Structure 1
Amino acid sequence: MSLVDQIAQRAREIRTDGYSMSIGEVLSLYRDGDIDIHPEFQRIFRWDDDQKSRLIESVLLGIPIPPIFVSQRADGVWDVIDGVQRLSTILQFAGEYKNESDMPQPELVLRGGEYLTELDGYVYSKPSEPGTTAFNEALRRDFKRAKLDFRIITKESDPNAKYDLFQRLNSGSVLSPQEARNCLMVMIDRSFYQRVVELSQNANFQASVLLSDRQEEQAYREELVLRFFCQVDLTGGPTELKKEYGEYLTGWMRNAADPESTYSLDTATFNETFELLNRALGEDTFRRHENGRHLGPFSISSYEFVTSGVASNLDRWRTRPSTDLKSRVESIWSADVFRSNSGTGVSPRRRVPRLMSESRKYFGE
């Protein structure tokens, strides 16, 4: 197929439309449930009140705002792909925003802007706090009449178009790779995302996986949950992955989360694996063992090797003393099969399949 033919084919698969809409119209769509801004994203996209105030200032001054991308679902509802924080800020300022429990959230109290310094302390309507001032009727009308540009992926498009577009728009953004995956999970199947979050809060998992504050903030714990299931599901032996591991994990997650997929998260295996590991080693489970001591921070290579090996051999380890499992986990640090495949010079696309293949044998001996 030539490049020209390929472009023509792909262009037919992604159909878009675009037009401007007033904020008043957007508020009506939101009240009627015709636009889904995924309130779960609020835990992922973090804007402070200064950033929110700058957006409202831009709206009032007519400063162009980047277009908001939405995808039209089969039921006609618009899924917001890019622009969640912009829309939620506008809704919060107007006193319309509801969280993921469908509870109304407090109105946004504006901070002084770069150009509109007098915005400080203003709210949209009724003052809710001492020292705040409400917009008058004319300002509220001007605000509701302000236009927002929308780009719509129509329902006739390829079903995967909105996920591909989300990944492209958020590539290299302030989101961590897992925060972007979390957004994709919410769009694909909210219940799948909720199960992953619940597992990330498992007490044994939390106790045996010690992460830095930065890793916690960037949703790395949810990534480790996905890695666990992706690794257990990995077949093909030690052959190098055809793409970088991050891309591989995202692709696996998209397939697993698809409501039409037959895949189901094996929570029983996850829970038992971390119960055994926490009982045996606690917070030292994934820390380097050397000269009888546990050293350093959390090790992703040991996580991959140990969790895959134990999960694949639960029948063996559930009937043995915790001291046996402790000795086996600590022994990996001197084992050639682990050391040769987990050094800094081994890329994840080579490391992961090799460790998975060897770990199942190592913990099955």
Structure 2
Amino acid sequence: MATNILQQIEDKRTSFKTDNYAMSIGELVNLYENNEIIIRPEYQRLFRWTHGQKVKLIESIILGIPIPSVFVYQDENGIWELVDGLQRVSTILQLFGVLADEEPLVLEGTKYIPDLEGYKWENVEDPEKEIPASIKLAIKRSKINLTIILNESDKRAKFEVFQRLNTGGSNASNQEVRNNVMLMVNPQRYSWFNNLASNVDFVETLSLSDRLFDEQYHMELCLRFIALTKYDYNHKKDVGDFLDDINEDILNNLNFNFTEVKENFELTFSTLNRLLGDKSFKKYNGTDFKGKFLESAFEAVAVGLSHNIASYNLPAEDAIITGKIEQLYVQPEYIQTSGSGTNAKSRIPKLVPFAKQFFAK
């Protein structure tokens, strides 16, 4: 047994070949301008810092406060692809005024340097508010630590590193991490998934806050729908780990039926939007659907209906579906699995099979 463990560890250790390098910020900017380090534009859209966060990073560099390492993947041509550290690198490039499609960064006063207000790297309009040459030089000479994932590594190394760095203790939601893994591995499949999660009928049924949309929660619900309608839930795993597995299968499974999944998804959510709109996943109180979006309602209604929707004559039998949704909330099986003290790991193995039966015509 011990021999097997040692062999597994050794096999995986050799999958990750890395090098470490302390580079000046000036060198890093030159690499970007020479197209020798790549930042995928999709990453910039998914991960955005506030202006205050950007200024705080620049303040740290000016004051000599160490900043976390940046991870890059080196391809077969020696070009580096940014894997982790997007916000830090993008902010530095924006300060220098070279970040594509972004205006140069205008600084603001900070706790330690209140007079930083209004300063820019280059300021032709107001030279008094241009960062002094001595400070520019100090910033250019400041070091940033890079970990380079070498091309000899396993092909999964770059997104395995990204996922582990950004899961747990990070400001990124689990779905934001999955989205970036998708972009790294297969941009075409990410595009398919993103388009599905942006479906108007789907989005209109969710009634989510702007914050949850910003955290890509609608995309997690899209993934959850696919996972619970097309895969058997592994009750030994946490839901997050289960969704990670499904995310990986969507990326890598050559037999994944994109057309079938898309057609079923669109029919399910166009039906729900027509019947209930943004009340689709709110609890029925006997007279109306009220309250907040319920994850348990989403799992029961969307998954249960999806499993049976082909058997309904739509829209002639719309009223039958609406009636079933209203009745759902008084069913003992729903009440027992969705009450306080329950969690998704214990809820799903009971709720989803029940819902698939309950919505049978």
TM-score, length basis structure 2: 0.88
Tell me if 1:251 matches 2:245.
yes
Q: Any idea what the Cα deviations from partners look like across 1:75-119, whole Å, max 9, x if unmatched?
A: 543232221100000011111112xxxxx2100011234444443
Aligned to 1:269: 264
Amino acid paired to 2:241: E
Give the Cα–Cα distance (whole angstroms) in 2 for the partners of residues 85 and 54 of structure 1: 12
Aligned to 2:12: 10
- Structure 2 runs not aligned, ≥5 long: none
Amino acid paired to 1:80: L
Give the Cα–Cα distance (whole angstroms) in 2 for the partners of residues 226 and 66 of structure 1: 31
Aligned to 1:57: 59
* Partner-residue secondary structure (3-state), 1:151: strand
* Partner-residue secondary structure (3-state), 2:325: helix
Across the aligned residues of Structure 1 and Structure 2, the Cα RMSD in angstroms comes to 2.5
Cα pair 1:127 1:133 within 8 Å, conserved: no
Give the Cα–Cα distance (whole angstroms) in 2 for the partners of residues 317 and 31 of structure 1: 58
Tell me if 1:338 matches 2:334.
yes
Choose which of 288, 293, 296 in structure 1 pairs with 2:291. 296
Tell me if 1:143 matches 2:139.
yes
Amino acid paired to 1:9: D
Choose which of 322, 337, 343 in structure 2 pairs with 1:347. 343
Give the Cα–Cα distance (whole angstroms) in 1 for the partners of residues 135 and 284 of structure 2: 65
Aligned to 1:202: 199
Give the Cα–Cα distance (whole angstroms) in 2 for the partners of residues 173 and 133 of structure 1: 35
- Structure 1 residue 331, shift from structure 2 partner: 1.5
* Partner-residue secondary structure (3-state), 1:270: helix
* Partner-residue secondary structure (3-state), 2:338: coil
Cα pair 1:305 1:359 within 8 Å, conserved: yes
Q: Any idea what the Cα deviations from partners look like across 1:110-156, whole Å, max 9, x if unmatched?
A: 1234444443222112446x687223555444433332210011122
Choose which of 309, 324, 328 in structure 1 pairs with 2:304. 309
The 1:325–1:127 alpha-carbon spacing in structure 2 relative to 1, beyond 3 Å, is farther
Amino acid paired to 1:96: V
- Structure 1 residue 360, shift from structure 2 partner: 2.3
Choose which of 135, 154, 161 in structure 1 pairs with 2:150. 154
Choose which of 281, 285, 294 in structure 1 pairs with 2:276. 281
* Partner-residue secondary structure (3-state), 1:64: coil
Tell me if 1:105 matches 2:119.
no
The 1:364–1:111 alpha-carbon spacing in structure 2 relative to 1, beyond 3 Å, is same
The 1:364–1:302 alpha-carbon spacing in structure 2 relative to 1, beyond 3 Å, is same
Give the Cα–Cα distance (whole angstroms) in 2 for the partners of residues 219 and 131 of structure 1: 42
* Partner-residue secondary structure (3-state), 2:106: coil
* Partner-residue secondary structure (3-state), 1:313: helix
Aligned to 1:328: 324
Amino acid paired to 1:315: A
- Structure 1 residue 43, shift from structure 2 partner: 4.0
* Partner-residue secondary structure (3-state), 1:150: strand
Moved more, 201-210 or 44-53: 44-53
The 1:66–1:363 alpha-carbon spacing in structure 2 relative to 1, beyond 3 Å, is same
Q: Which has the higher helix share?
A: 2
Aligned residue-pair number = 355
- Structure 1 runs not aligned, ≥5 long: 99-103
Give the Cα–Cα distance (whole angstroms) in 2 for the partners of residues 362 and 243 of structure 1: 25
Q: Any idea what the Cα deviations from partners look like across 1:52-94, whole Å, max 9, x if unmatched?
A: 2222233234332211112234554323222110000001111
Moved more, 332-341 or 130-139: 130-139
The percent identity for this pair of structures is 35
Give the Cα–Cα distance (whole angstroms) in 1 for the partners of residues 190 and 172 of structure 2: 17
